[in-house]
Amino acid sequence: MKREIAVLTVGDELLNGERADTNTAAIARRLAPHGLRLRESLTVADVESEIEEALLELAGRRDVVIVTGGLGATVDDLTARVAARAFKRHLVLSDEALRLIREHFRRTGREMHPRNEKQALLPQKAILIPNPVGSAPGFILPQGEKELYFLPGVPAEMLAMLEATVLPRLRVGGEGAVARERIFKILGLSEPAIEEMVAGAGLPVGVTVAFGVDFPLVHLKLRCSRADADSLLDRSDLIVRRLFGENLVAMGDETLAGNVARMLVGMGLTLALAESCTGGLIAAELTELPGASAFLERGAVTYADSAKIAWLKVPASLIAKEGAVSEACARAMARGVRRSAGSDFGLAVTGIAGPDGGSPLKPVGTVFLAVAGESGETVLPCHFGGDRGEIRRQSVCLALDLLRRALIGRIAGGA
Amino acid sequence: MKREIAVLTVGDELLNGERADTNTAAIARRLAPHGLRLRESLTVADVESEIEEALLELAGRRDVVIVTGGLGATVDDLTARVAARAFKRHLVLSDEALRLIREHFRRTGREMHPRNEKQALLPQKAILIPNPVGSAPGFILPQGEKELYFLPGVPAEMLAMLEATVLPRLRVGGEGAVARERIFKILGLSEPAIEEMVAGAGLPVGVTVAFGVDFPLVHLKLRCSRADADSLLDRSDLIVRRLFGENLVAMGDETLAGNVARMLVGMGLTLALAESCTGGLIAAELTELPGASAFLERGAVTYADSAKIAWLKVPASLIAKEGAVSEACARAMARGVRRSAGSDFGLAVTGIAGPDGGSPLKPVGTVFLAVAGESGETVLPCHFGGDRGEIRRQSVCLALDLLRRALIGRIAGGA
């Protein structure tokens, strides 16, 4: 039996613009490898009547409801109380929950606040879900064939409890045919262009196509739920790789930055960065994953000309003549940071992210990317549209892609 | 009349973990200043029956429904067709929509794909919403007293159309009493501790309290919907400021990084950064807002010891003796980057974000923060819990806060 799963997230902050809900996507990501899919996700405010109505509706039309948020120690944390009322149970103090809360504070060496005792009040006959990270215990409410899981809203706590308790229980339920999916991340082609290319490529029958956008990347998703899904998707994989060639910049869960990092580590090569308008974003992305110290020697965020001159040895005369946003400066930055770090590659970005600083000759969105290696430098002049954030995003992706192409060239060249 | 507003986001990618929904929060943020609040937000997959059911349900129980996603040119973009079916209208080719789509491609100098013509198919009697950014037009479906707004899922396009067309229409509807809110962002105190402090502080009657978490910050939200809300919240503001003092690190929409940037610009001071385990995150946050070049002279991401030695002039002997993760190294990094940049302040981070690299003496989570100014350096040794991402987040916030306190000290000291 394929169970239908819904997520309910609770919190004013998710509806007043203060915070975007990341729990739904995080839950979906953990469910997917087990062939479990969300059917819907609902968000309501910290209002008793709204939470109650949402619980009853979702429990009515789905088999499993995962609720996050509202289990904290403060007055606007209402979920346990409302759940008890919705399903006509008493709210009782759970000794086991209280013990776990006390244990949490002892373990973390922090003082327990009397208000934290409130977190041990659970609906009668609820099954406790221990919280390995924080103080709020979660709980399961079985309703006939259905199950409601209540987890805290704090992402790290929610995920730890999902992994430790919820996922194992959901898997035991046993799912039927698993829908497989492969994701191809493509840079430099539009969604309709990609769709037309795929439509004419002769993908095997049974493989369906969907799209997503992670600006400026387009995600092409191939899905198959047949018994021979793996072999059909393997065949599709070959077709898609041939079709998109160098425009295919990452696959599956991997990001473009993750792919570049993996290539560098695998090839035993080192990198140094010189960033102007991207302001450290490339460094931040490359160091998000563990192990970045294996390849990243150093990075410079050179906003001021003096920094470009001192650290990157860009000649002052070059900046005076060509400007800091120029092909020559990008080239000198990449070469300079590579030389100062003694790294295999240098990657540089200089440009105008706006909204100010543009001129008729070099309008906002003018960005120069450069990669330096042992055989010299390659510069890519770009003219990006969009706002400051979008110009920075495109600069990050195209710079990483420029390096990726240089690394592929090294393989192709037999180096 | 206070109209109830719901958001419906459509897309497989929002339910399979590939992408988190940011549109709901972005819409809520744009509505809030006009006293308009979301009552709920629902997400469904690219499945006709699910979209249809969601449209009918939300249109049944709310006055305004804002739908995003599924207006693209590809086969999995179903929203317009389903909306037509749900509300029993024909799907017709809109000449005006087609003209706008053609105009978009002409303006951006890109070739229009025949598939983009599909985007001109709208439910009969729909009111067109022009898209100033992309190719997909949106539309309004009036249903008696109610209105459904259909916008593309691409955030930049959705927001441009929300601002230009949806918001003006919603405001014309006229709202009654406006719920005002003030947000206080607090670092270094737990949610229950903050709640207890606030409970005993004597806030005016009519002001209610709610909480949110933006790890490691806690957001304290004071709300009031009385006619004299502004003066009640002004009084509360004074109380809260006195109560939390230096733990209050930002207010309202401003981030901690934004607050620090504004202080630096206002005081005419400059900054240089030296980041190890935060890998450029502090630089990336400080440069997210326009105008960062006014205060950020440069930043170094010094993963390798050689970079700390060459760029920051940290003595090799110091690293050999104390280690790169040490109080002495943090101090030398802050002093060194300040001196090399000739800036008023130097801010440095060195630590072990994990998961590897820890030792019994310096376990994962050991981080040293240092700020250097004209009167010397201050070092803050930290031991953070959590995973790599959480250790990096805490390091960023506490480093920015260390600088913020140094800036306050300058004001207090009369410098």
Residue B317 burial class via C-beta count within 10 angstroms: exposed 0-12, middle 13-18, buried 19 and up: exposed
Instruction: Determine the pLDDT at residue A17.
Output: 81
More confident residue, B223 or B274: B274
Q: For residue B352, which phi and psi values (nearest 5 degrees)?
A: -120, 105
Residue B292 burial class via C-beta count within 10 angstroms: exposed 0-12, middle 13-18, buried 19 and up: buried
pLDDT digits (tens, 9 = 90+) for A122-147: 999 999 999 988 888 999 999 888 99
CB spacing of A341 vs B154 below 8 angstroms? no
* Residue tagged 């300058």 (tokens): B410
CA angle A24, A28, A32 (to 5 degrees): 180
- Model confidence at B253, in pLDDT bands (50, 70, 90)? confident
The answer to whether A59 touches A150, Cβ cutoff 8 Å, is no
Instruction: Determine the pLDDT at residue A172.
Output: 64
CB spacing of B279 vs A283 below 8 angstroms? yes
Instruction: Determine the pLDDT at residue B172.
Output: 64
The segment(s) of chain A belonging to CATH 3.30.70.2860 are 180-251
CB spacing of A29 vs B43 below 8 angstroms? no
pLDDT digits (tens, 9 = 90+) for B313-344: 999 999 999 999 999 999 999 999 999 999 99
Q: What is the 3-state secondary structure (H, E, C) of B295-354?
A: CEEEEEECCCHHHHHHHHCCCHHHHHHHCCCCHHHHHHHHHHHHHHHCCCEEEEEEECCC
- Model confidence at B173, in pLDDT bands (50, 70, 90)? low
Give CA–CA dist A27/A157, Å, rounded. Answer: 12
Q: Find chain B residues with C-beta within 8 A of A284's C-beta.
A: 278-281, 283-284
CB spacing of A192 vs B354 below 8 angstroms? no
The answer to whether B212 touches A13, Cβ cutoff 8 Å, is yes
More confident residue, A274 or B74: A274
Q: For residue B256, which phi and psi values (nearest 5 degrees)?
A: -60, -45
Could you report how far apart the first and last alpha carbons of chain A are, in Å?
54
Which two tokens mark B365? 């989570």
Q: Closest to B29 (Cβ–Cβ): which among A17, A28, A192?
A: A17
Rounded to 10 degrees, the C-alpha dihedral A45/A5/A137/A87 comes to: 70
Q: Closest to B195 (Cβ–Cβ): which among A74, A153, A299?
A: A74
Give CA–CA dist A50/A44, Å, rounded. Answer: 6
The pTM for the full model equals 0.71
CA distance A105 to chain B (A): 12
Instruction: Determine the pLDDT at residue B232.
Output: 94
- Is pLDDT above 70 for A156? yes
CB spacing of B15 vs A26 below 8 angstroms? no
Average confidence score pLDDT of chain A: 91
Share of chain B above pLDDT 90, in %: 71
- Is pLDDT above 70 for A120? yes
Q: Closest to B301 (Cβ–Cβ): which among A20, A76, A283?
A: A283
Chain B's closest residue to A253, CA to CA, is B18
Q: Find chain A residues with C-beta within 8 A of B183's C-beta.
A: 18
Q: Find chain B residues with C-beta within 8 A of A39's C-beta.
A: 15, 44-45, 50
Give CA–CA dist A89/B229, Å, rounded. Answer: 38
Sign of CA dihedral A178, B21, B387, A297: positive
Strands, E assignment, B121-268? 121-123, 127-129, 138-143, 146-151, 180-187, 208-214, 217-224, 248-251
CB spacing of A25 vs B18 below 8 angstroms? yes
A 10 A CB-CB count for B221 gives 18
**Residue from A5, A9, A10, A40 to probe the interface with B (highest B Cβ count within 10 Å):** A40
- Model confidence at A72, in pLDDT bands (50, 70, 90)? confident
Q: Which helix (H) or strand (E) holds B9?
A: strand B5-10
- Is pLDDT above 60 for A1? no
The segment(s) of chain A belonging to CATH 3.90.950.20 are 256-412
- Is pLDDT above 50 for B391? yes
CA angle B142, B146, B151 (to 5 degrees): 60
**Residue from A180, A196, A303, A396 to probe the interface with B (highest B Cβ count within 10 Å):** A303
Which residue, B297, B280, B251, is CA-closest to B399? Answer: B280
Q: Closest to A214 (Cβ–Cβ): which among B19, B219, B281?
A: B19
Which two tokens mark A244? 């998109």
The answer to whether A180 touches A237, Cβ cutoff 8 Å, is no
Chain B's closest residue to A117, CA to CA, is B192
Chain A's closest residue to B27, CA to CA, is A17
> What mean pLDDT is predicted for residues A382-402?
94
Q: Find chain B residues with C-beta within 8 A of A340's C-beta.
A: 310-311
> What mean pLDDT is predicted for residues A105-121?
84
The answer to whether A50 touches B55, Cβ cutoff 8 Å, is no
The answer to whether B44 touches B50, Cβ cutoff 8 Å, is yes
Q: Quick check: helix, strand or coil at residue B78?
A: coil
Q: Find chain B residues with C-beta within 8 A of A113's C-beta.
A: 190, 192-193, 196
- Model confidence at A257, in pLDDT bands (50, 70, 90)? very high
Instruction: Determine the pLDDT at residue A225.
Output: 81
Q: Find chain B residues with C-beta within 8 A of A350's C-beta.
A: none
Q: Closest to B298 (Cβ–Cβ): which among A155, A195, A307?
A: A307
- Is pLDDT above 90 for B179? no
Which two tokens mark A267? 């090839």
CB spacing of B25 vs A31 below 8 angstroms? no
Q: Report CA-CA distances (Å) from B19 to B16, B23, B50, B74, B135.
A: 8, 11, 19, 18, 22
Give CA–CA dist A249/A408, Å, rounded. Answer: 11
pLDDT digits (tens, 9 = 90+) for A330-363: 999 999 999 999 999 999 999 999 999 999 999 9
- Is pLDDT above 90 for A413? no
- Is pLDDT above 80 for B108? no
- Is pLDDT above 90 for A108? no
- Model confidence at A175, in pLDDT bands (50, 70, 90)? very low
CB pairs under 8 A between A and B: 324
Q: Closest to A212 (Cβ–Cβ): which among B13, B293, B355?
A: B13
Could you tell me the fold of the domain covering B5-172?
Answer: Molybdenum Cofactor Biosythetic Enzyme; Chain A (3.40.980)
- Model confidence at A178, in pLDDT bands (50, 70, 90)? low
Chain B's closest residue to A76, CA to CA, is B210
- Is pLDDT above 70 for B177? no
Give CA–CA dist A133/B386, Å, rounded. Answer: 8
Instruction: Determine the pLDDT at residue B180.
Output: 83
Q: Closest to A25 (Cβ–Cβ): which among B20, B37, B356?
A: B20
- Model confidence at B111, in pLDDT bands (50, 70, 90)? confident
**Residue from B29, B41, B44, B394 to probe the interface with A (highest A Cβ count within 10 Å):** B41
Q: Closest to A18 (Cβ–Cβ): which among B42, B195, B219?
A: B219
> What mean pLDDT is predicted for residues A303-316?
96
Q: Which of B45-59, B81-95, B107-121 has the lowest mean pLDDT?
A: B107-121
Query: Which CATH number is associated with domain A256-412?
Result: 3.90.950.20
CB spacing of A299 vs B301 below 8 angstroms? yes
Chain A's closest residue to B40, CA to CA, is A44
Q: Closest to B76 (Cβ–Cβ): which among A211, A341, A354?
A: A211
pLDDT digits (tens, 9 = 90+) for B288-309: 989 999 999 999 999 999 999 9
Give the DSSP letter of residue A114.
G
CB spacing of B310 vs A31 below 8 angstroms? no
CB spacing of A113 vs B193 below 8 angstroms? yes
Q: Find chain A residues with C-beta within 8 A of B26's C-beta.
A: 17, 20
- Model confidence at B178, in pLDDT bands (50, 70, 90)? low
- Is pLDDT above 50 for A388? yes
* Residue tagged 């806030």 (tokens): B203
- Is pLDDT above 90 for A385? no
* Residue tagged 């070959």 (tokens): A238
Q: Which of A211-215, A234-238, A240-244, A258-262 has the lowest mean pLDDT?
A: A211-215
The answer to whether B404 touches B259, Cβ cutoff 8 Å, is yes
A 10 A CB-CB count for A305 gives 15
CA distance A126 to chain B (A): 25
Give CA–CA dist B120/B138, Å, rounded. Answer: 9
Which parts of A15-132 fold into alpha helices (H)? 23-31, 48-61, 79-86, 95-108
Residues forming a β-bridge with B128: B139
Q: Which residues contact A140 (CB under 8 A, 6 or more apart)?
A: A126, A127, A129, A147, A148, A149, A150, A165, A169
Q: Find chain B residues with C-beta within 8 A of A16's C-beta.
A: 28-29, 32, 37-38, 181
Give CA–CA dist B376/A297, Å, rounded. Answer: 29
> What mean pLDDT is predicted for residues A209-227?
88
- Is pLDDT above 70 for B357? yes
The segment(s) of chain B belonging to CATH 3.40.980.10 are 5-172
Could you report how far apart the first and last alpha carbons of chain B are, in Å?
53
CB spacing of B287 vs A279 below 8 angstroms? yes
CB spacing of A301 vs B283 below 8 angstroms? yes
Query: Which CATH number is associated with domain A180-251?
Result: 3.30.70.2860
